[in-house]
Structure 1
Amino acid sequence: MEEKARIMDETAINRALVRISHEIVEKNKGVEDVALVGIRRRGVPLARRMASYISGIEGIEIPVGVLDITLYRDDLSSLSSQPVVHKTEIPFNISDKKVVLVDDVIYTGRTVRAALDALADIGRARMIQLAVLIDRGHRELPIRPDYVGKNVPTSSDEVVKVKLEEVDGENCVVILKR
């Protein structure tokens, strides 16, 4: 795949995450009973960054969890006969919490559906909201994010790749052509 366009640099990513963090505080009238849960892989560092920004805004730490959705995917059999399952780490009770699911890109909505199923097996949150860095459209399920860093209209032969320092060694968002 070749890089077609670089649509966000490190500054733009940070600016979007700060804005989303402010929106989370505003929409929830503070952060009492708010927890962030990053969808493994790149949703996790995004959730941790937003928790840090929210802490700076509100002066309190909010809990951050890690959600692995591998076994909840509806395309599991097409991925591998032996999928690699990572650990879900949610060291707090989600019951009666306002959980903000965090992911890097929303596309068809199927990852979010799997995350909702995984969360339901953990507990019954009071409310679940969704924050994504990139919304590229092309939904196959009726799922809409509450917080979006950037809307990026794409064609189906393009791939949006979020690169984060914690995973990839750099911070940027690129569009790749298949």
Structure 2
Amino acid sequence: MTLPEIPPLLDAMVAELEAAISERGLDRQRLALVGIHTGGVWIADVLHRRLALSTMPGTLDIGFWRDDFSHQGLPETIRTSHLPFDVNERDLILVDDVVMSGRTIRAALNELFDYGRPRCVLLAALISLPGRELPIQPDICGAHLELAAGDRVKLSGPEPLSLSLVPRPQEAS
């Protein structure tokens, strides 16, 4: 199987995640990836192929678990969460594309624990940005970035995966 083309900078960040996961020496029979829709799912799929894991990755849609409906509004689309394995006593790597406030990860953990009690959960993020509102930090990170005020990073995909810098939408006054 050939891997999809990934631009060099993005490939280097994914390779950093792959190496950091491999260095942890986790039991591959107990290990499973869980991607957060949508970018985290794309990254989890690439990591799954690179790590040659036998357990298919799971997906989480945390749309109804968010605590910021008053700021963000209700989600436009809801996808189903799918965990094709028993999470109990499993070593899970929760995968997201960008971690900034920590609210998406908090929501993902709430949903994840509705499925059972994993042995441990590690957080892998392609990119970590400043701006935490909750005490949540990635255990494994492809890159730590600082952006100009008003800018944000957007992962597009799934094939090809690409990163772009886009201005943050202005909030209505």
Q: Is TM > 0.5 for Structure 1 vs Structure 2?
A: yes
Partners of 1:119 and 1:74 in 2: CA distance: 16
Give the aligned partner of residue 174 of structure 1. Answer: 164
Q: 1:16 aligns with which of 3, 13, 17?
A: 13
Give the aligned partner of residue 136 of structure 1. Answer: 129
Provide Cα deviations, 1:88-140, integer angstroms capped at 9, x if missing partner. 01111000011100011001000000000000111111100011111111111
Give the aligned partner of residue 47 of structure 1. Answer: 44
* Structure (1/2) with the larger helix percentage: 1
Partners of 2:75 and 2:163 in 1: CA distance: 30
CA apart distance, 1:30: 4.4
RMSD: 1.9
Q: Which runs of 5+ in 2 are unaligned?
A: 1-5, 169-173
Amino acid at match of 1:64: P
Partners of 2:156 and 2:75 in 1: CA distance: 26
CA apart distance, 1:81: 5.3
- Give me the TM-score of the superposition, normalised by structure 2: 0.86
Structure 1 residues 121 and 30: alpha-carbon distance in aligned structure 2, compared to 1, 3 A threshold? closer
Residue pair 1:102, 1:131 contacting (<8 A) in 2 also: yes
Residue pair 1:76, 1:83 contacting (<8 A) in 2 also: no
For 1:15-164, list aligned pairs within 5 A: 15-55=12-52, 60-80=53-73, 83-164=76-157
Residue pair 1:39, 1:69 contacting (<8 A) in 2 also: yes
Structure 1 residues 82 and 119: alpha-carbon distance in aligned structure 2, compared to 1, 3 A threshold? closer
- Give me the TM-score of the superposition, normalised by structure 1: 0.83
How many residue pairs end up in the alignment?
163
Sequence identity (%):
32
Q: Which runs of 5+ in 1 are unaligned?
A: 1-8
CA apart distance, 1:80: 3.7
